[in-house]
Amino acid sequence: MSKHATESTTDVTDHNTEPPANHFLQIDDLSADELAELVSTAAELKRAHHAGESHAVLPNQSLAMLFEKPSTRTRVSFETGMTQLGGHAVYLGPDTTHLDHGEPVADTARALSRYVDAVMARVFDHGALEAMAEYATVPVINGLSDAAHPCQTLADLLTVYEQFGGFEDVTVAWVGDGNNVGQSFAVGAAMAGVDLTMATPEGYGPDEDVLARADASGQVPEVVHDPEAAVEGADVVYTDVWVSMGQEDEREAKLDDFAGFQVNDDLLAAAPEASVMHCLPAHRGEEITGDVLESDRSMVWEQAENRMHTQKALLTHLLGEK
């Protein structure tokens, strides 16, 4: 999609007279109150799911899921989530639509809006999502871009909430790349009142606008370049891959730059009680060791499951009670 996403978005007319849709491109598209409510709705949906109670609150609603990159968790959690809510999801994988063959994103967005109740998209370039949101008349949900992964942050916050019974006085150390997952977590942590320190190599910290948005949300994370200093005494240590999808050409340089930032038993000696989070997929032996990922302190499977519950809460927030 990125090739054509921002082309030909001018000189078009949308004849649909629907009011503007609520989009979810960034975590702070929600207010802090909405975020807190969404986490508690997700906890209730999780309870209902495990109790086998029906919660088909979005009957006959449809979600288009557009992917420029691979996905395991995002695709399956949205698709099963829509089914459990009584709706339906349509998977549009890489190279399966006209977007990859020259149809402008503006045309795709307006056509999809006539069929489905929401569009979730995973794109290379965040600008493609913004173009989609400009022309779609239904909510557009960010399923990961180069800049942000707000759906991941929803699951991360539910995981922290469950583990600690709330957000107050919880300290998280982010260790690794300050890009999409880290950037959304930085803003979401500020909104929730979670205390965050980010240890990244020089040049891999979050963007200035992310720090400004975290600040506006109540708390700017401390950004350091020493993983041990960040981890010391933390309740949670959170990491992500060093080589994100689309960065394969930078692999050798990034492996060099991130040396010393691996989450392993030596690093965790500075935080003996810390739980460990990872958005997955994990590259064992790079950003995290297999031992740590498989240890009792790892919360990664709960975190992965929570994608489904929080996205169901998001879908009911965006699409419920129309």
Decide: is 181 part of the binding site for ligand NVA (CB under 6 A).
yes
Q: Report the residue number, 22 or 247, with the smaller CB distance to ligand NVA.
A: 247
Pairing verdict, β 88-92 and 118-122: unpaired
Among 43-51, 79-87, 240-248, 282-290, the segment contacting ligand NVA (CB under 6 A): 240-248
Looking at residue 262, its amino acid is Q
- Identify whether 114 is a catalytic site residue: no
Q: Report the residue number, 62 or 180, with the smaller CB distance to ligand NVA.
A: 180
* Residue 105 site contact among ligand NVA, ligand CP, none (CB < 5 to 8 Å, cut-off depends on kind): none
Helix 300-319 vs helix 32-51: crossing angle, to nearest 10: 110
Q: How far is CA 149 from the centre of its chain?
A: 3
Q: Is the peptide bond before 281 cis (omega within 30 degrees of 0)?
A: yes
Closest distance to ligand NVA from the beta carbon of 239 (Å): 10
Closest distance to ligand CP from the beta carbon of 57 (Å): 24
* Residue 72 site contact among ligand CP, ligand NVA, none (CB < 5 to 8 Å, cut-off depends on kind): ligand CP
DSSP structure class, residue 227: H
Tokens coding 246: 């689309």
Q: Report the residue number, 28 or 146, with the smaller CB distance to ligand NVA.
A: 146
- Identify whether 307 is a catalytic site residue: yes
Decide: is 244 part of the binding site for ligand NVA (CB under 6 A).
yes
Binding footprint of ligand CP on the chain (CB under 6 A): 71-74, 144, 152, 279-281
**Span 121-160, contacts to ligand NVA by CB under 6 A:** 144
DSSP helix/strand/coil, 174: strand
**Span 191-210, contacts to ligand NVA by CB under 6 A:** none
Nearest-5° Cα angle at 143, 107 to 19: 50
Residue of the chain from 39, 105, 241, 288 that contacts ligand NVA (CB under 6 A)? 241
The order of strands in the sheet holding 140-142 is 88-92, 62-67, 118-122, 140-142
- Identify whether 14 is a catalytic site residue: no
Decide: is 180 part of the binding site for ligand NVA (CB under 6 A).
yes
DSSP structure class, residue 220: P
Closest distance to ligand CP from the beta carbon of 181 (Å): 7
Q: What is the 3-state secondary structure (H, E, C) of 66-88?
A: EECCCCCHHHHHHHHHHHHCCCE
Evaluate whether 31 touches 136 at the Cβ level (below 8 Å).
no
- Identify whether 265 is a catalytic site residue: no
- Smallest Cα–Cα separation from 286: which of 255, 265, 257, 244? 255
* Residue 219 site contact among ligand CP, ligand NVA, none (CB < 5 to 8 Å, cut-off depends on kind): none
Report d(CA 136, CA 140) in Å as an integer.
7
Decide: is 279 part of the binding site for ligand NVA (CB under 6 A).
yes
Decide: is 240 part of the binding site for ligand NVA (CB under 6 A).
yes
Handedness of CA 187, 267, 288, 165 (dihedral sign): negative
Q: Report the residue number, 179 or 310, with the smaller CB distance to ligand NVA.
A: 179
The catalytic residue positions are 122, 149, 152, 240, 279, 307
Residues that bind ligand NVA (CB under 6 A): 144, 179-181, 240-241, 244-245, 279
